[in-house]
């Protein structure tokens, strides 16, 4: 509660109106340094440490260090893709682990097995019930890339497409990738 009040107080100008400038003038607050430390701690702590838990579960479920790799989830008009790459091109161990993981989930997803996302997220991701039910309408294809790999997900079925997009949007949000939540505009 104190963090919320402090954040709200810091966001208001002296007139009581919300500030459009995200940075506060340090001279306007004698406790500026302390406030900045509190804000940084609040950002890194997250409620219940969800992202840290996701990273730890993901490392166990996927078989590679989440800090040494990056995930991207892309939506397309026909489905989308799951992309994972190493952050250091010299990290051949993680590259091999990514390849193994993505090849495995390509097979598992095609058979309706979403146990790895369940283990990673600690809950069933959005879209999974329909991905299982409509699995024969969806194609999963693995592709090796220079720094990792990609699983392309494609369908012509509208209900399956909605499920694929729901699943990928869930991934974007939970992994905090910042990827666009929709297909590219043409």
| DSSP structure class, residue 2 | H
**pTM, whole model, 2 decimals?**
0.70
HSE, side-chain direction, 13 A CA sphere, residue 183: 13
Every domain of the chain and the residues it spans:
2-46, 53-175
Per residue in 114-168, pLDDT (tens digit) is 998 887 778 889 999 999 999 999 999 999 999 999 999 999 999 999 999 999 9
Considering Cα of 163, then 168, then 171, then 173, what sign does the dihedral take?
Answer: negative
pLDDT tens digits, 81-108? 999 999 999 999 999 999 999 999 999 9
């Amino acid at each position: 509660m104190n963090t919320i009040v402090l954040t709200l107080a810091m966001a208001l100008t002296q007139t009581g109106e919300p500030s459009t400038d995200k940075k506060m003038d340090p001279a306007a607050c004698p406790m500026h340094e302390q406030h900045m430390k509190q804000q940084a701690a609040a950002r890194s702590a997250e409620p219940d440490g969800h992202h840290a838990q996701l990273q730890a579960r993901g490392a166990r479920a996927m078989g590679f260090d989440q800090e040494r790799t990056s995930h991207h989830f892309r939506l397309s008009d026909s489905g989308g893709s799951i992309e994972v790459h190493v952050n250091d091109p010299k990290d051949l161990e993680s590259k091999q682990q990514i390849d193994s993981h993505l090849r495995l989930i390509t097979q598992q997803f095609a058979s309706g097995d979403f146990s790895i996302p369940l283990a990673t997220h600690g809950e069933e991701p959005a879209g999974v019930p329909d991905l299982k039910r409509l699995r024969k309408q969806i194609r999963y294809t693995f592709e090796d890339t220079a720094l990792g790999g990609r699983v392309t997900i494609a369908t012509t079925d509208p209900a399956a497409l909605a499920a694929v997009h729901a699943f990928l949007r869930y991934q974007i949000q939970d992994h905090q990738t910042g990827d666009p939540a929709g297909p590219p505009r043409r």
